[in-house]
Amino acid sequence: MLSEWLRARTAGLVGGVARGVAALGLSPNALTVLGFAFMLVVAVVLARGQFVMGGVLLVAAALFDALDGSVARLTGRVTKFGAFFDSTLDRFAEAAIYGGLLWWFWGQGMGREAALAYATIIGSLMVSYTRARAEGLGVECKVGWFTRFERIAVLVLGLLLGQITVVLLVLAIFSNLTALQRVWHVYRVLGER
């Protein structure tokens, strides 16, 4: 996956920033909450139709979002609750981002784009749900084309390049296909057992 490749390439940079943030004394859970609040600001910007500004802020928010886990590992404050809390707020944040787009498009009478934003919300939540449910059954499930990182990266491109309708179509299709990929993966793994 692209996210794993990028994580390996930026580990030094993220680690350096995380050391600076850790020195401020902020807890990983506090960073999770701040990152979530940042994403809500992005959602409001998108709900106002300010797509380029939203794209720029989304890049900054996504970078900030990477810090909580790094700070937790760096300070030895990794907890199961912290991982759960981060993952939960990530789902709320992503739904808020697409909800902001849905709000804008619905208000502009752009029903097709609003429907695509809604389908993308469903797909993004189902990608996460299928992984969580599979792992609850003891099946590792990181397969799929459009993980959260890929969805955010494609959305940022669409916002910055003014191609939001095309990007929402791609996201609506491929996020839901990724969820189906995970269903198929779990079916195969459990069938082999």
pLDDT tens digits along 61-75: 988 888 888 888 888
Confidence (pTM): 0.89
Is the pLDDT reported for residue 80 higher than 90? yes
Is the pLDDT reported for residue 9 higher than 80? no
Q: What is the model's pLDDT at position 10?
A: 60
Residue 140 to residue 187: CA distance in whole angstroms: 12
3-state secondary structure of 43: helix
Is the pLDDT reported for residue 14 higher than 90? no
Q: What percent of the chain has pLDDT over 90?
A: 76
How many other C-beta atoms are found inside a 10 Å radius of the C-beta of residue 112?
Answer: 11
Residue 192 to residue 51: CA distance in whole angstroms: 46
Q: What is the model's pLDDT at position 147?
A: 92
Residue 35 to residue 23: CA distance in whole angstroms: 18
Is the pLDDT reported for residue 28 higher than 80? yes
The topology under which CATH files domain 2-192 is Four Helix Bundle (Hemerythrin (Met), subunit A) (1.20.120)
Residue 50 to residue 45: CA distance in whole angstroms: 6
CA 42 to chain centre: 13
Closest CA to 39 of 17, 16, 63, 22: 63
For the chain, which residues make up each domain, given as ranges? 2-192
